Amino acid sequence: MTRLQIDPIDMRTRPDKISSDINYCWILNCIDHFSKFSWAFPLKNKSVGEFVAELRELFFIFGPPRILHSDNGREFVSSVIMELKSFFRDLLFIRGRPRHPQSQGCVERANGILCDDLGKWMSTNNSSSWSTALLPVIYGLNTRRSTVTKATPYEVMFGQRPRSDSEFWKLVHEAGIDDEENLPTPVDEINNDMIDDTPDDAVNANQDIDNDVAELFVQLSEDVHLYFSKTSPTKLIITSTASVSPSTIVTTPTRHDTIRKNATDHYLVPENKKMKLQQESLHMIANHFNINDCVGIEIHSVD
């Protein structure tokens, strides 16, 4: 995460009473501005303690963002900053203008979509508990293709599609398979690829490398690097090992690298257009004034 936008959604008009001592009245909606990956947490009240508890848990799992963006009141944000700074000293906070879509557009749109999807889920499942619907609805949003990055937030975040082949697991259920060893071939092959019990012995492997073979490997690596540098914008990275000077390791771009690069390219297109329009607008305004002119600026009523 680079820039995380957070915004509380007021649900006091439709509180979700789980028990006598648990009554949810707010939703803390968090969205990564780049990947559009979302998190949502039910809150009993809009207090600094509940905010910090949920954000701290989120940051310790996924890592803290570089920038935390919120449009809450100055005193509220200052209290959140003081609480989180003790754990994440390099975290940068930005406070946007309240009810200002230009600075909070991403999370404001996400709030509307989240509320709409919560209503649809509750209607479809004949449920009155929106806190129960949060997890499946957020999962649906994270596995839905984004019009900005042209990929799902899940893919941009984790570099792979979610393993949720409902048809496959339906067949497993119908076949009455309860033991892992009896799973069909696709899952069995995945497990074999993921687990490698062979111990790594880099020293012995390097001792068995013949110098002629190592030199040939270097030449082939350089040829591959030259080929991809001409045909692909993503270049290969070649590093030399310390134990055997002639040998090199060629690291090809991973699937996750490709997904994030494509997402970045798509993400920057509208951002560059906005920046260009902003610069043109400022240039047009500047042409109407001269140095030392007195200029009045309207201040919104909420400020």
Q: Which residues contact 121 (CB under 8 A, 6 or more apart)?
A: 127, 133, 136, 137
pTM: 0.64
Residue 97: predicted pLDDT = 60
DSSP secondary structure string for all residues of 121-170: HHHHTT---HHHHHHHHHHHHHTSPPTTTSS-HHHHHHSS--S--HHHHH
Q: How far apart are CA 191 and CA 172, in angstroms?
A: 16
Percentage helix, strand, coil for the chain under 3-state DSSP, each rounded to 5: 50, 15, 35
Q: Which domains does the chain have, with CATH numbers?
A: 3-156 (3.30.420.10), 205-251 (no CATH)
Grade residue 204 by pLDDT with cuts at 50, 70 and 90.
very low
> Which tokens is 28 given?
């803390």
Residue 236 pLDDT more than 90?
A: no
Residue 99 pLDDT more than 80?
A: no
Grade residue 108 by pLDDT with cuts at 50, 70 and 90.
confident
Mean pLDDT across the chain: 76
Average of pLDDT values for 183-188?
53
Query: Contact, 240 vs 248, CB < 8 A?
Result: yes
Residue 198: predicted pLDDT = 44
Q: Kind and range of the H or E element at 26?
A: strand 26-32
